[in-house]
Amino acid sequence: MPQRSWRRASGRLSALAAACAARMPAVLTVSLAVLAGTCPPPVGPLMRTLWGRLTADEAQRQCALSLDTAAESTVFALGPVLGGLLVAASSAAATLAVCAALAIIGFGLLATGLRRTPASVRVASAARPRSPLRAPGFTPLLLLVLAVAGALCLFEVAVLAAWGTLVAGVLTTLFSVGGVLGGLVYGRRRWRGALARRPVVLAACSTVCYALPALVCSAPAAGIALLLTGACTDVLLITAYQLVDRLVPHGSRTEAGAWINTAYNLGAAMGTAAGGVLVDRFGSPAAFAVTAGLLGVCTSIGAPLTRRRHATDAAGEAALSQPEPTATSPGRA
């Protein structure tokens, strides 16, 4: 990861803070925000590739990815709360300045840690690795990731329209809480069943949970749905990262992780846009029903494609169950 990448990110966050403090035109401020969003290095995909190389076996990899995802959900749960407190205590410009300082410190520490990583486990850049999109079974996985992200944001827009900002803030936090709990529970034990089938099962469970407020349109029902779907969604993402190690060759795994993040962000953007239109035209109850329906359709499309990968996944599990002779060596390839 080039050091100038995180320097650009922190620099543009600082410029954004200055623009807010100086009350510059909205067009300039929005442009700086877009530029700041394009600069942060791909920390998530990079770290998840490293977990695949630093861990000795599938069990350790599952634990590492679970802790990684639980930590990310914790950030999403606490970040908005801390940001709101900082804005209330100071100003938006000061809060953005704090974000820039955190970017400098966090990315700097990460870059230092990566330099100390043994050369045998660093993510090397290949001449021209094969695109992960060409790996059999990877595209259906991206469809499920996009679908769960779109369903979440569509659902959140409907919650906001139905019960207002205060209740929506509490309810959407439950999603992150469920994600933390689900990730930690998933990482603590060894699960039966084919790994390739888990994303479909988890997406189907999320569909059932999202259907609950469509049947009983109340805030408690929506809270239960978000808590349970938070657990399902985070575990689905963990299994998606696990499947990257099964489906994608070594030289393309960081790119594959970036594609998973891109699919999630694209689904979130599409879900937010669709949620606004649906709520405006048909109301929140209809948006709740559409959320479950769309996710159910995407799950139905992905299920047959996943079954085709079951034989390959079973072979991969059999191979991973064998002891790795290089696990105890000082440097692993």
Distance CA 279, CA 282 (A): 5
Distance CA 297, CA 295 (A): 5
Instruction: Give the model's pLDDT for residue 317.
Output: 47
Burial class (CB in 10 A: 0-12, 13-18, 19+), 306: buried
Q: Are 136 and 254 in contact (CB under 8 A)?
A: no
State residue 322 phi and psi, 5-degree precision. -75, 145
Q: Are 210 and 295 in contact (CB under 8 A)?
A: yes
The closest of 116, 305, 76 to 196, measured between CA atoms, is 305
pLDDT in tens, the chain (333 residues): 444 555 565 566 666 666 666 677 778 777 777 776 676 667 777 777 777 777 878 888 888 888 888 888 888 778 877 888 888 888 877 887 887 788 778 777 777 777 766 655 555 554 556 788 888 889 999 999 999 999 999 999 999 999 988 888 889 889 999 999 999 999 888 888 788 889 999 999 999 999 999 999 999 999 999 999 999 999 999 999 989 888 888 878 888 888 998 999 999 999 999 999 999 999 999 999 999 999 999 999 888 876 665 555 554 444 444 443 433 333 333
